[in-house]
Amino acid sequence: MFVDDIRRPGMLHAAFYRSPHAHARILRIDAAAARALPGVVAVYTAQDLPARIRGPLPKLIPHPALKHHKTQVALAGNVVRHVGEPIVLVVAENRYIAEDAVDLVVVDFEVLPAAVDLEQAAQPGAPRVHDDMPDNIAAHHIQRVGDVEGAFARAAHVFRERLVIDRGCSAPMETRGVVAEWDRRARQLTVWDSTQAPIRIRNYLSDLLELPQASVRVIAPDIGGGFGPKIMMCYPEEVCISWAAMELGRPVKWIEDRREHFVATNQERLQIHDAAIAVDADGRILGVRTVFLHDCGAYCAYGLQLPIIASTTLPGPYKIPNYHAEYRAVFTNKTQTSPYRGAGRPHGVFVMERLMDRVARELGIDRAEVRRRNFIQPDEFPYDLGGLIYQDGVRLVYDSGNYPEVLRKALQHIGYADWPAEKARLRRQGRRVGLGLACYVEGTGIGPYEGCRITVEPSGKVYVATSVGTQGQGHYTSFAQIVADALGTDVTDVLVTTGDSGAFGWGTGTFASRAAVVAGNAVALAARAVREKTLQVAAALLEARPDDLELGGGKVFVRGVPDRAVTLGEVAVAANPLRGVIPSEWEGPGLEATRFFAPPSGAYAAGCHAALVEVDVPTGFIRFLRYVVVHDCGPVINPLILEGQIRGGVAQGIGNAFYEKLVYDEQGQLLTQTFMDYLLPTAAEVPEVQIDHVETPSPLNPLGIKGAGEAGTIPVPALVASAIDDALSEEGVRITEMPLSPSRLREIIRAAQAAPEPA
C-alpha cells in the first residue's frame, strides 16, 4: 500500500504552480482564470495561508556555526530562490484539471541575478540568495585536531589536491506524495505521507496547524525508496496539502510527478575540496587539511549535517594526529540540499582515498601498504579522533573495528598479489584495466532514540510496533527475526508495524543507517522484557521456576519435559485475567512491553571495495570486470537483506561515479529533468558484486550491530577514480572529480596526453 494507492471518498487532487526562475521577485499573481476553470475547487497563494504557516518552515537542526538558518516557506509570496519553488496551490476534482488550471495561472516576475556556480556564489559581491544577508555564506565552521601547521612544516612530503564531487539526486522509484483527510467531527487529521520520518512530521504538523499531537496521525505506508531526501521535515507540500484538506473538509491527494521531483525534492553532493596531506618519508600521515565549499542550495533547513559528516568521515580508518577541516556552507539559487545515501561520506572518502593514492604513487609505495601503515589497529579501540564532533553532537570515538582484516580479505578476493602480472598480461592484449581500492569508515546508528512496543495476543501472534519508517530495507523481516529469536516463536507469527504514529507515537526516523541499530535494539530490549514476563507468568502456570523454563515452537515448556508446556497465547490470557491480582513485578497486565534504545553515540562500520575497471581509451567508456565488497557491520542479522543493501548501494554509487549528474545552466535552470538526461545505471551497467564480511561487534548496543544502509554507496567514487588512475597510469591520468562521463574522461585523457612530462 503506497501513498498513491490511498483513495478516500470525495478525494480531491492537487497540483502546484512552481517558479520557472532560479531567482525572482513575485510582482503579481493572477489566478482568476485558474479559479474559473470548471472542476477547480480552490486556488491558494501565500496570502491565503494562515499566519502560522505563511512564514519560514521549521529550522530542523541548529548549530552554533550556522549563522543564517534559512528555511523555505510553504508558498512563496515575495521571492523565489530556486526553480521549482511552489507559488500557487490548485485543488481540483482530478489531477488533469489541476494541471490545466496551473497552466492558466499568470505570475509576473522581476527576474533577479542568480547565484548558481558554487565558487562564484561564495565570492563577495556575488548575487545574494537572501537579501538580508551580507553574502551567501550560511556558515563558516572549523574543526581542528593537534598542530596542523607544525605537522605540515616538518613533513617530508606535502601533496595537495583540488577535488570536486558534483550534484546528484536520489531518484527513488516512488516520488513524494501526500494524502490528507480531516475528520471534522472527530477533529482528527490523518496524513498518509511518503516520508522517512512520520513521527516528526506529525509533531511539526501538529505545531503548524495548531492541533494537539493526539489529533494528528501520520502514516508512512510502504515507501518506494527514500534514500534520505524523505527525511526532510516539512516540505511545503506536506504542510499545504494537510492544511487544504482541513480548509476544504475533503481529502486531498498530491503525488509528486517526476519533473517536480527533479526540482522540488532535496538534492545533494556538490562540494569542492582544497585538500592536502603531510606525510613522513615512509608515507606515515602527519597531518591532513581540507578547506571546502558546500552547496546548500537556496535553504538549509536540515542544518550543517552534510558538511559536518564530510569533515568527520574524511579521516576514515587512518591515524591522523593533526587534522584541519574547514568549510563554508554557501547558499545558491538551486534546490535545497539535505542528506542522500552517503550524506557527505562519499566526499570525505573521495578526498582521503585520493590523497592516499597520491602518497602511494609519489613515494612509490604500494597502495595497500600505505594504507596498512596508517590503519588504526584492532587493539586501539575505542579510538578517539582527538576531539572531532560528529553529526550527533557527540565527540567522535570509533567503537570497534578491524581495518587490516577488512583490507586483507578485499585484496585476497580481488587477487591483489597477482595484479601486476595480470595487468601486464592485459596490457599486452591492448586492454587498459585498472584495479581500484577504497577503504572507509561509516558512522551509523546515531541517537537520539527509537522505541518499540511488543504485545503477545491471546492468539499467540506477536504484534510489534515501532515508528521508524521503512522504505524497502526489510525491517519487517529483520525486526521479526529479532523478536522470534527472543520469544522462541516462528517469524511468520510476528507482525511488525512501522511508520504509523497511531501505532507507536515516539521516534525519530529512518536515516543515517540507524533503523536496524537503534530501532532494532529497541525491538530487542522490548522482546527481552516480554520474554522475562512470559517466563514469570508461565512459571506460575507450570508450577516451575522461571529459570527452568525454555521458549520454543511458540510455547513455554519445562526444560527436559517438553510436554509440560503452555502456548504463548495461553500465557498472554493468563497475564490479563478477568479477576484476581496483578503482581507488582509484572509491571502491569498482558504480555506487553515498551522499551526505548538511546545509544550513547554512533556505531562505526567499515569496509573496503575493490574493483577491476576496464577503460576503452578511444571512447572513454568504462566497464567493471570485477567488484568486491568486504564489509564489517558487526554481527549480521540477515545476510540476504544486508547483501541487498550493499548491492543497491553499489549501483547507486556507480551512478554517482559515472552516470548521474544534475546539470544547471548559468541561469539556474536544471537541464537534467528527465530520466533521459539524468542517467540512472541499469542492470546492464552494474556488475555482479562479490560480498564478504568481517564481524566486529559494537560494544555500544545489546545486539552488537552497526548500520549498513550506506556502505555500498560511500566509497564508489573514490574506487572508480582509483581504478581509472591505475588503468591509465601510462598517460599520467589523475582523476580529481566525480561524476565522470565518457566525454569528460576523454577530455581528461587528452589533457593528460598533452601535458608536458614531469621534470
Partner 1 sequence: MKPPPFSYAAPRSVGEALALLQEYGPEAKVLAGGQSLVPLLNMRLARPEVLVDINRIGALAYIRRRGDRLRVGALTRQRAVEASAGVRRRVPLLWEAIRFVGHPQIRNRGTVGGSLAHADPAAELPAVVAALEADLVVAGPGGERVLSPEEFFTGYLTTALQPADLLVEVRFPLQDGDTGSAFVEVARRHGDFALVGVAAVLRRQDDTVGQARLAFTGVGPGPVRAREAERLLQGEPATPRLFAEAAREAAARLDPPGDIHATAQYRRDLAAVLARQALEVAWQRSGGRRR
At closest approach, how far in Å is the CB of 678 from partner 1? 10
Of 14, 428, 24, 542, nearest to 256 by C-alpha is 14
3-state DSSP of 678-743: CCCCCCCCCCCCEEEECCCCCCCCCCCCCCCCCCCCCCHHHHHHHHHHHHCHHHCCCCCEECCCHH
Q: Which is nearer to partner 1, 158 or 679 (CB)?
A: 679
Residue identified by cell 488550471 is 101
Q: In this structure, are strands 494-498 and 462-466 parallel, antiparallel, or unpaired? A: parallel
In angstroms, rounded to a whole number, what is the distance separating the alpha carbons of residues 122 and 525?
48
Contact 635, 703 (CB under 8 A): yes
- Toward partner 1, which CB reaches closer, 262 or 604? 262
Set of cell numbers at residue 525: 530490549
Beta carbon nearer to partner 1, 257 or 280: 257
Shortest spacing between CB 13 and partner 1, in angstroms: 10
Comparing CB distances to partner 1, the nearer of 175 and 567 is 175
Nearer to partner 1, 647 or 746 (CB): 746
- Which of 418/747 has CB closer to partner 1? 747
Quote the least distance from Cβ 336 to partner 1, whole Å.
22
In whole angstroms, give the CA distance from residue 663 to residue 679.
12
- Judging by beta carbons within 10 Å of its beta carbon (0-12, 13-18, 19+), is residue 109 exposed, middle or buried? middle
User: Minimum CB separation from partner 1 for residue 685, in Å?
Assistant: 6
Q: Look-up: residue for cell 570486470?
A: 625
Q: How far is the CB of 670 from partner 1 (least distance, A)?
A: 10
φ, ψ dihedrals at 270, nearest 5°? -70, 115
In order of 150, 438, 586, the CA distances from 578 in angstroms are 76, 63, 16
Closer residue to partner 1, CB minimum distance, 175 or 473: 175
Peptide bond into 739 cis (omega under 30): yes
Residue that has been written with the C-alpha cell 504485545 in this structure = 455
CB nearer to partner 1: pick between 386 and 739? 739
Closest separation in Å from C-beta 187 to partner 1: 34
| Shorter beta-carbon distance to partner 1: residue 574 or 679 | 679
Distance in Å, CB of 663 to partner 1, minimum: 5
- Give the C-alpha separation, 459 to 158, whole Å: 69
Q: How far is the CB of 600 from partner 1 (least distance, A)?
A: 45
At its nearest, how many Å lie between partner 1 and the CB of residue 644?
22
What does the alpha-carbon distance between residue 652 and residue 709 come to, in Å, rounded to a whole number?
Answer: 12
> Contact 150/320 with Cβ under 8 angstroms?
no
Residues that bind partner 1 (CB under 8 A): 95-96, 99-100, 103, 257-259, 618-621, 659, 661, 663, 671-672, 674, 676-677, 679, 681-682, 684-685, 741-743, 746-747
Whole-Å CA distances, 551 to 460, 531, 651: 13, 9, 42
Residue 320 beta carbon to partner 1: minimum distance, rounded to whole angstroms:
38
Q: What is the DSSP letter of 657?
A: I
Q: Least CB distance from residue 611 to partner 1, whole Å?
A: 19
C-beta of 30 vs 616, nearer to partner 1:
616
Cα-flanking dihedrals φ and ψ of residue 34, to 5°?
Answer: -65, -45
Nearer to partner 1, 259 or 734 (CB): 259
Minimum CB distance to partner 1, residue 632 (Å): 32
Q: How far is the CB of 693 from partner 1 (least distance, A)?
A: 31
Start-end of H helices in 168-214:
198-208
Report in angstroms how near the CB of residue 75 gets to partner 1 at its nearest.
21
The Cα–Cα gap between 170 and 187 comes to 36
Cα 402 to Cα 606: distance, rounded to the nearest angstrom: 8
Alpha carbon 391 to its chain centroid, in Å, reads: 13
In the bound state with partner 1, the residue whose beta carbon lies nearer, of 100 and 442, is 100
Please say which residue, 492 or 743, places its beta carbon nearer to partner 1.
743
Residue 729: helix, strand or coil by DSSP?
Answer: helix
Instruction: Give the start-end residues of each E strand in 171-321.
Output: 177-183, 188-193, 216-219, 252-255, 271-279, 285-297
Beta carbon of residue 659, minimum distance to partner 1 (angstroms, whole number): 7
| Residue pointed to by grid coordinates 514469570 | 536
Identify which of residues 212 and 618 has a Cβ nearer to partner 1 in the complex: 618
CA separation for the pair 128, 513 (Å, rounded): 35
Phi, psi of 23 (to 5 degrees): -155, 120
Nearer to partner 1 by Cβ, of 528 and 744: the residue is 744
Where does 413-470 show beta strands of DSSP type E?
Answer: 432-444, 450-456, 462-466
The pairing of beta strand 690-693 with beta strand 737-738: unpaired
Where does residue 374 rank: exposed (0-12), middle (13-18), buried (19+ CB within 10 A)? buried
**Helix, strand and coil percent figures for the chain, each rounded to 5:** 30, 30, 40
Give Cβ neighbours of residue 423 (< 8 Å, ≥ 6 apart): 433, 434, 435, 726
